Amino acid sequence: MRLRFLGGLGVLAAATILTTGCDSPPADTVKMADSKADAAAKAKASKAAKVQRAAAVKANELGQIPVLMFHRIVEKPATTDDRSPAQFRADLERLVREGYVPITAAEMVAGKIDIPAGKHPVVLTFDDSSPSQLTLNEVGVPQKDTAVAILKEVAAKHPGFRPVATMYITRDMFGKTVREEQAQTLQWLKDNGFDLGNHTRDHINLRGRSQKEVEEQISTIGKQITSLSGVKPTTIALPYGNQPKNKNWALHGPGYHHDGAFLAGYTPSAAPFSKAFEPAGIPRIKVMEKKGDCSQFCSEAWLDWLNKNQDMRYVSDGDPRTVAYPKFKNPYLRKTFATWALPY
């Protein structure tokens, strides 16, 4: 047995030597070359199919993304920052009708935009961690008419509309003062696919503050969020939308590293794949009808504008590993995403 086996190897070696150098390559090499050519042809065909699919839905993954800014959801709005439950339901229903699918701020800044072909991403953000956004009963069910309860209701009615949002947390902790209750609330959010972001501990204006003060405000609440939930925030919303003297202090400091800092106004954001994307100052849009100060730069006006300017809006090709866009926009692709590029 053993001898025959060795003999077999010898024959194989001889055959290899004999065929090397002659015109026809050994059978194994031919096979390999064939499969390489096959693979290349397959890759080409699959890329062509991807390009075709992207073009069919007019994918534009260098287009603009609305990041909506909410505060309290209360029956009687006291300021123009508040929305009533009925208004918030209508806000969400409009997004459903117009083909938007929510992603989180963390997903956006990481470039993880996984929504179906032809759909538009929208980021829902809630500032100040108030009880009107989430209050849970004794068995962990969100109270009726809180922001989270409404978002889940609307999503249940419209499959495909993801019930996810980013909650920008301060020491207010959804009105909870007991550590165990704070942990329950934050862990519930994490377990239900919500994103936890930093909104500074005391909600102070960071403009003009020393580096030490800025870092302390950001790192203390960041650590608290992590110790309560295990989540390390990857984004921050700047109180009043004001950047510190050095805008990078909001992104990197002792114990924290953010991939994006969000402002308070006044335009849709560039896509994270675009050169126009500015991680230290990502614009958001206040949610409000077209009136008064909001006649031009709040959500109703901007959603109207994005509807009218389809070529400016982000449209997904349905594949999170590619960045698909009309070839004409090529100069705007961020270099870090060059290997994902799918121009058509």
Instruction: Write down the least CB distance from residue 132 to Zn ion, Å.
Output: 13
DSSP state of 8: H
The CA R_g of the chain, rounded to the nearest whole Å, is 26
Give me the half-sphere count of Cα atoms (radius 13 Å) on the Cβ side of residue 235. Answer: 28
Residue nearest to Zn ion (CB): 127
Instruction: Write down the least CB distance from residue 318 to Zn ion, Å.
Output: 35
Q: Mask: binding to Zn ion, 169-198, rule CB under 5 A, as x and -?
A: ------------------------------
Q: Are 85 and 342 in contact (CB under 8 A)?
A: no
Nearer to Zn ion, 161 or 262 (CB): 262
127 binds Zn ion (CB under 5 A): yes
Q: How far is CA 344 from CA 47, 57, 213, 314, in A?
A: 11, 12, 48, 15
Q: Are 144 and 150 in contact (CB under 8 A)?
A: no
Instruction: Write down the least CB distance from residue 239 to Zn ion, Å.
Output: 5
Q: Are 241 and 77 in contact (CB under 8 A)?
A: no
Q: Are 284 and 291 in contact (CB under 8 A)?
A: no
91 binds Zn ion (CB under 5 A): no
Nearer to Zn ion, 111 or 233 (CB): 233
Instruction: Write down the least CB distance from residue 317 to Zn ion, Å.
Output: 35
128 binds Zn ion (CB under 5 A): yes
Nearer to Zn ion, 82 or 128 (CB): 128
Rounded distance, CA 77 to CA 306, Å?
Answer: 27
Q: Are 243 and 250 in contact (CB under 8 A)?
A: yes
Nearer to Zn ion, 60 or 129 (CB): 129
How many other CB atoms sit within 10 Å of the CB of residue 295? Answer: 12
Angle at 307 between CA 302 and CA 311, to 5 degrees: 105
Name residue 196's beta-bridge partners. Answer: 167
Nearer to Zn ion, 236 or 324 (CB): 236
- Helices 299-308/85-97 angle, 10° precision: 10
Q: What is the size of the binding site for Zn ion (CB under 5 A)?
A: 2
Instruction: Write down the least CB distance from residue 86 to Zn ion, Å.
Output: 23
Nearer to Zn ion, 82 or 127 (CB): 127
Instruction: Write down the least CB distance from residue 128 to Zn ion, Å.
Output: 5
Q: Mask: binding to Zn ion, 231-270, rule CB under 5 A, as x and -?
A: ----------------------------------------
Segment lying near Zn ion (by CB under 5 A), choices 39-47, 93-101, 125-133, 178-186: 125-133
* Binding positions for Zn ion, rule: CB under 5 A: 127-128
